[in-house]
Structure 1
Amino acid sequence: MVEVVGPVRWRGTPYWFAGAPDGSLGLLLMSHVLAAVAWPYANGPRHIGHVSGFGVPSDVFARYMRMAGHDVLMVSGTDEHGTPIQVQADADGVTPRELADRYNRVIVEDLHGLGLSYDLFTRTTTRNHYAVVQELFEGMYRNGYIVPKTTMGAISPSTGRTLPDRYIEGTCPICGYDSARGDQCDNCGNQLDPIDLINPKSRINGEAPKFVETEHFFLDLPALAEVLRQWLDTREGWRPNVLRFSRNLLDDLQPRAITRDLEWGVPIPLDGWRDRSDKRIYVWFDAVIGYLSASIEWARRSGDPEAWRKYWNSKDGEGSVPSADGVGEDARSYYFMGKDNIVFHSVIWPALLSGYSGEGSRDGEPGELGRLNLPTEVVSSEYLTMEGRKFSSSRKVVIYVRDFLERYDADALRYFIAAAGPESNDTDFTWAEFLRRNNDELVAGWGNLVNRSVSMAAKNFGAIPPVDPAGLTEADEALLATARAGFAGVGDLIGRHRQKQAIGEAMKVVAEANRYLSEQAPWKLKDEADKPRMGTILHVALQVISDANTLLTPFLPHSAQQVHELLGGTGVHAPMPVIEQVDDLDGGPAYPVLTGDYTVGARWESVAIEAGRPLAAPKPVFRKLDPSIVDEELARLAG
């Protein structure tokens, strides 16, 4: 049997040691884990459907991996370029930058309210981001994977502006779907060009677009198809829908435009193009590069400008680098998003990384950033609907994160998303189900276990009681073993992105503890002679509460801190993000970021509670909601 000891940190990097049969200890390098979270578009506030895909799942994973001893970097930011921003800015009578500033701050505050533990949540309008985007563009251009091409572009006859592909709608020429977009048919999944659509029209004003010749740069996806296929064939453990969809996309890859006739965006970094005000890099190209630019910005702000490389540069380009003794991994990267973004993360982004690294059919050499790692896994969620309907801000079928947090607790939403969210199937959010899960599972299940156990211990002992010298019963031992076993089971499920199962297993520990208390009935042990047994029962219950609280910390960090303190704990149990106003590193305007110190807090292990630690009468951890909230919220939707 191999014994694992650690982790031990040296220069900020966690290491574990594995015992070999001869008694020696071999070094195990813990992984550098990049949690790359989809970038919310800064044209409005985000609703709970958005954060069910990119927000909560990524934070649960990142928090668990940190607690398990891994070196985690979680990055994202607001996506702020493209025609939709420009169109809305015109409608609001502001500049695109002013609109982006407004919603960048709103989104930062909302994600902070949810407790999403970003190491850096930034934006795509920083000068650092511009420089990184232009470096990748130039590197792929040198390697021959970006090529100029004359094409037919869609123009709005009334404004003279380019219509983005997704703002053109018509009938798919392949499957006949009558609501296909100009970039892709959501029904058959095929990539399209706007000119291919039958009866195309603008989604902005309904007019038929005018198609004119224009010169643009294209990503030569066919030249990267084979390297993408080889990479996808090595992927294991992905959600089946993601892998199947991604492989199907490779069957008919076409060159894809990466520049547009726009005024708002990253300039094209080539002679004859960089000073043009009417041509910009396409928003989808610059947004996915944000994962890399945010990592570089984080490193620059950390005081070690090269620190980003441990998450991005590996010998084989895939993140798997054996340590000196042949075990362990150096870097892994996990990308979190909703299913509408799969193509950008499982095909487009790996193509950009491969082209920059010189790994397609045209070969080439990596640029100054080096050979860049391909994703370890693309973690895509399905869609969350609301009361049987698709989320729609225009139709008011929506509840924004900000409005939700004004009326309900953040952990109540986090719990619903983890336990009932769209992990592998489209899921419907209903207020009745939200009420049931909050009141029956959080309040009556977990909250009640904490409240009654701490209350009895505080009332009868004033502190965590000791274990009876007579020892533990079989029932005591069984419950403690169940809780300890949860660390391996729940941790494995979170690590494999099975968060519904994971939180279900954690709540089974809660259910077992509630059953144990009901069967042992410590409140009936009123005689002085029975007090040692009462103390043992409560000690066991409080130990299991401590363990269950650790198991639930990645999911419910706000309440986990409260439970930690109710058990007499001090210090930070579940670290939280902070909002900081920072200067642009390269002289641009200042802006708010989300960041935090996550080196403190609980570790993924059972920690023995300390008998004699003072306890006070507890306050409820969760709020019981009145059933009337269902009708109130449905009335808001109807209004």
Structure 2
Amino acid sequence: MTDYKRVLVTAALPYANGPIHIGHLAGCYIPADIYVRYQRAQKRDVIFVGGSDEHGVPITIRAMKEGVSPQEIVDKYHELIKHSFQQMGISFDIYSRTTSPVHHKTASDFFKKLYDDGIFEEKETEQYYDEKTHTFLADRYITGTCPVCGNDGAYGDQCEKCGSSLSPDQLINPRSTLSDAIPVKRKTKHWYFPLQKYEDFLRKWILEGHTEWKNNVYGQCKSWLDNGLQSRAMTRDSNWGIKVPLPDAEGKVLYVWFDAPIGYISATKELTDKWADYWCKEDTKLVHFIGKDNIVFHCIIFPAMLKAHGNFVLPDNVPANEFLNIEGDKVSTSRNWAVWVHEYIKDFPGCEDVLRYVLCANAPENKDNDFTWKDFQDRNNNELAAIFGNFVNRTFVLMHKLCGGKVPKLHTDILDDLDRQLIADIEAAKAKVENALEGFRFRDALYEVIDLSRKGNKYMQEKEPWQVVKKVAENPEAQKSIDNCLHLCLQLTANLAILINPFLPATAKKMLHMMKVVDRILDWENAGKINLLSVGYALRAPEILFRKIEDAEIQAQIEKLRAGSVAAEAAQKVAVATPVSSTPAVKPVIQYDDFAKLDLRTGTIVAAEKVEKADKLLKLEIDLGFEKRTIVSGIAQHYDPATIVGKRVVVVANLAPRKMRGIESNGMILMAEDADGSLQFIASDKEVQNGSIVS
């Protein structure tokens, strides 16, 4: 640690397509916050950067489901996510977003630098295309039957029912989620980053230079490198995202995993004009906190991008966590099998630190772990309340009862073995917690803090000041034993506030209030000392740090989880049975001159009849004012010929003639298609002379 002048900590950018759940917190945000709060207590130069990832397919899918624009989606969920983090005490120095102008410029400039340096490979490949909406389909825009489990609602990249990773080519009966059409393959051009050219660099940097990384991270990186790296597309066909800054890239945006990690850089730019000190100076310690599903992006792709660009520091560590399951099942947002943070805050007001504690004590640091509501209750009632909170409360109650509400004197002349052992435990705890935090072993660090409070309870139980006080009347010297016990317990309480602060900041703040001391006492240099509270200093009455959580509250949460999942699965079945029609994507951009070539005229249908042996066609006679035209139109399944005579219409008058079923059609009438597939005539509400130009 002494080799670094500053510490830069990032936490993965969550997709702004929905609220965050406790799996997100356990995966990276609580570990990152604990680490940052510890670094601040050490008085180190540290900044904590985060933000919302607001581009990519999950955003557009959510927008499609809610019937709003992608911008409305990210605005809504960015604020919800940001507020949830604030409520949970996640202390970002900046929480930005990838739709910010600073980010758009930073990501565009980064891409252009690599392009100008000749880094990218330009390739034309075949990708799935929806002919009905004129859209290239990302994997998540394709659904079909899973070849592994038979789930009819599998996506082109994954089946959320069985967890299998898939490709669109593997799906049985693939369909477009945009229109329910069968997708076809079409050629499209993209720019690829040649990861294979950085394989030797990555192998030396990670496999030789970072053997201290967590086994899950190191192992996954080694597996990727041993299997050989391939070029990866850094652009996508989409109308939502950061536009590719090249003249021949119409309808192309930056790949979200090219754009998103650059968000760490752009957020730092927003935070400070000294951003380059944190990103470009070798004496910076850069640490990425992520979940295991993001390892390849933060350990392989982003470092290779930084290396190709030049001038940037590389991550010193990437302490990724595994996944947190809930009640024995994988978290699934589509099945609503999740504990949502904003709902937890409403259901358990004032208990934010309890969730922080449980998610850290049960963190999936080395393997997937399981969150259960019963374990949540047990840890609160039997550990936080019965051990930590109980020790602090007993200390304050007895101090007020037996020492007049003031810090008693420590009589060094009568210290016994129990006293000296507690002093040794207090002094040793600092190093134990510190070593665990420096090694990203947050569960171990938290255990040491709780264990210190457990030792405090044991010490008090053996000292029994409530029994000793009965002897004071006969032997005034007995008060010294009481003073020593409570003096050391109060100094231990002050130490607990320092040590617990990175984990449970709201709890530490309550303890400072009770002790009537300022935040400065939380500086790490004060840990391990037994002179933090001055003799004779009056302290406030105790506050209950952790309330008991009742069985009924836990049962309500279990029922809520199950009911939400049942409702979500029922909704999914309805959606599969009756695909929701969505607004088709806008067709490729045209110039005004292209539009000006069209001659649109108003007219009136004066005759209509069905075309023989053609179920869909009607033969129409249209009065255009200056002449009458015969037009064949595919609207027979929508309209009875007798009901449309006299209808005003808009006609493409200069469309080249075309024979249909032996009838020459001279034009086309314009129709609008509703969400249910029905067709409507386009015409003015007011009487307009036939042959009028539509412009």
TM > 0.5 fold call: yes
Q: What is aligned with 1:285?
A: 258
Write the deviation string for residues 542-561 of structure 1: whole angstroms up to 9, x where unpaired. 11121122111111111011
Could you list the runs of 5+ residues in structure 1 that have no partner in the other structure? 1-15, 17-27, 300-304, 320-329, 358-370, 575-600
TM-score of the two chains, using structure 1 as the length reference: 0.81
The alpha-carbon distance between structure 1 residues 377 and 178, as it changes in their structure 2 partners (threshold 3 A), is farther
Write the deviation string for residues 332-364 of structure 1: whole angstroms up to 9, x where unpaired. 11111111111111111111111111xxxxxxx
**How many angstroms apart in 2 are the aligned matches of 1:380 and 1:562?**
31
Spell out the pairing of 1:255-404 with structure 2 (5 A cutoff): 255-273=231-249, 276=250, 278-299=251-272, 305=273, 307-314=274-281, 319=282, 330-357=283-310, 371-404=311-344
**How many angstroms apart in 2 are the aligned matches of 1:205 and 1:65?**
51
Spell out the pairing of 1:104-115 with structure 2 (5 A cutoff): 104-115=78-89
Structure of larger gyration radius: 2
CA positional deviation for 1:387: 0.9
**How many angstroms apart in 1 are the aligned matches of 2:228 and 2:177?**
27
Spell out the pairing of 1:585-596 with structure 2 (5 A cutoff): none
Spell out the pairing of 1:470-549 with structure 2 (5 A cutoff): 470-526=413-469, 527-528=472-473, 529=476, 530-549=478-497
**How many angstroms apart in 2 are the aligned matches of 1:604 and 1:170?**
60
Amino acid at match of 1:151: T
Spell out the pairing of 1:193-204 with structure 2 (5 A cutoff): 194-195=168-169
**Residue 466 of structure 2: SS of its match in structure 1?**
helix
* Alignment of 1:433 onto 2:375: yes
* Alignment of 1:243 onto 2:218: yes
* Alignment of 1:55 onto 2:29: yes
Report how many residues are paired.
549
Contact kept? 2:436, 2:442, Cα under 8 Å: yes
Aligned-residue Cα RMSD (Å) equals: 2.7
**Residue 73 of structure 1: SS of its match in structure 2?**
strand
CA positional deviation for 1:616: 2.2
Match 1:629 to one of 553, 559, 567: 553
**Residue 448 of structure 2: SS of its match in structure 1?**
helix
* Alignment of 1:100 onto 2:88: no
Write the deviation string for residues 243-295 of structure 1: whole angstroms up to 9, x where unpaired. 1111111223111111111111111112333xx3x211111211111111111
**How many angstroms apart in 2 are the aligned matches of 1:558 and 1:155?**
52
**Residue 636 of structure 1: SS of its match in structure 2?**
helix
**How many angstroms apart in 1 are the aligned matches of 2:195 and 2:167?**
15
The alpha-carbon distance between structure 1 residues 295 and 185, as it changes in their structure 2 partners (threshold 3 A), is farther
**How many angstroms apart in 1 are the aligned matches of 2:127 and 2:538?**
71
* Alignment of 1:36 onto 2:10: yes
Contact kept? 1:44, 1:103, Cα under 8 Å: yes
Contact kept? 2:428, 2:528, Cα under 8 Å: no
Match 1:453 to one of 395, 399, 422: 395
The alpha-carbon distance between structure 1 residues 289 and 183, as it changes in their structure 2 partners (threshold 3 A), is farther
**How many angstroms apart in 2 are the aligned matches of 1:55 and 1:502?**
17
Write the deviation string for residues 526-581 of structure 1: whole angstroms up to 9, x where unpaired. 1151212101100111111211221111111110111122122134667xxxxxxx
Amino acid at match of 1:244: G
CA positional deviation for 1:156: 3.2
- What is the aligned-residue identity percentage? 36
**How many angstroms apart in 2 are the aligned matches of 1:195 and 1:220?**
24
**How many angstroms apart in 2 are the aligned matches of 1:546 and 1:243?**
39
**How many angstroms apart in 2 are the aligned matches of 1:227 and 1:177?**
40
Q: What is aligned with 1:327?
A: none
Q: What is aligned with 1:13?
A: none
CA positional deviation for 1:605: 2.7
Q: What is aligned with 2:583?
A: none
Amino acid at match of 1:617: A
**How many angstroms apart in 2 are the aligned matches of 1:125 and 1:544?**
48
CA positional deviation for 1:73: 1.1
Amino acid at match of 2:103: H
* Alignment of 1:565 onto 2:503: no
Amino acid at match of 2:331: F
Amino acid at match of 1:547: N
Amino acid at match of 1:253: L
Q: What is aligned with 2:609?
A: none
Larger RCO: 1 or 2 (CA < 8 Å, sep 6+): 1
Amino acid at match of 1:138: K
Contact kept? 2:244, 2:252, Cα under 8 Å: yes
Spell out the pairing of 1:162-181 with structure 2 (5 A cutoff): 162-168=136-142
Spell out the pairing of 1:16-165 with structure 2 (5 A cutoff): 30-165=4-139
Amino acid at match of 2:334: S
Q: What is aligned with 1:363?
A: none
**How many angstroms apart in 2 are the aligned matches of 1:333 and 1:87?**
33
**Residue 429 of structure 2: SS of its match in structure 1?**
helix
CA positional deviation for 1:209: 3.0
Write the deviation string for residues 183-206 of structure 1: whole angstroms up to 9, x where unpaired. 68999x999864577765557787
**How many angstroms apart in 1 are the aligned matches of 2:150 and 2:275?**
45
Contact kept? 1:157, 1:210, Cα under 8 Å: yes
Write the deviation string for residues 135-184 of structure 1: whole angstroms up to 9, x where unpaired. 211121123222221111222344333322345467999xx898997568
The alpha-carbon distance between structure 1 residues 562 and 469, as it changes in their structure 2 partners (threshold 3 A), is same
**Residue 394 of structure 2: SS of its match in structure 1?**
helix
* Alignment of 1:221 onto 2:195: yes
The alpha-carbon distance between structure 1 residues 45 and 267, as it changes in their structure 2 partners (threshold 3 A), is same
55-64 vs 157-166, which deviates more? 157-166
**How many angstroms apart in 1 are the aligned matches of 2:116 and 2:158?**
29
Contact kept? 1:560, 1:573, Cα under 8 Å: no
Write the deviation string for residues 54-109 of structure 1: whole angstroms up to 9, x where unpaired. 21011011111221232111101000012321232233232211111111100010
The alpha-carbon distance between structure 1 residues 123 and 519, as it changes in their structure 2 partners (threshold 3 A), is same
Q: What is aligned with 2:647?
A: none
Match 2:365 to one of 423, 435, 439: 423
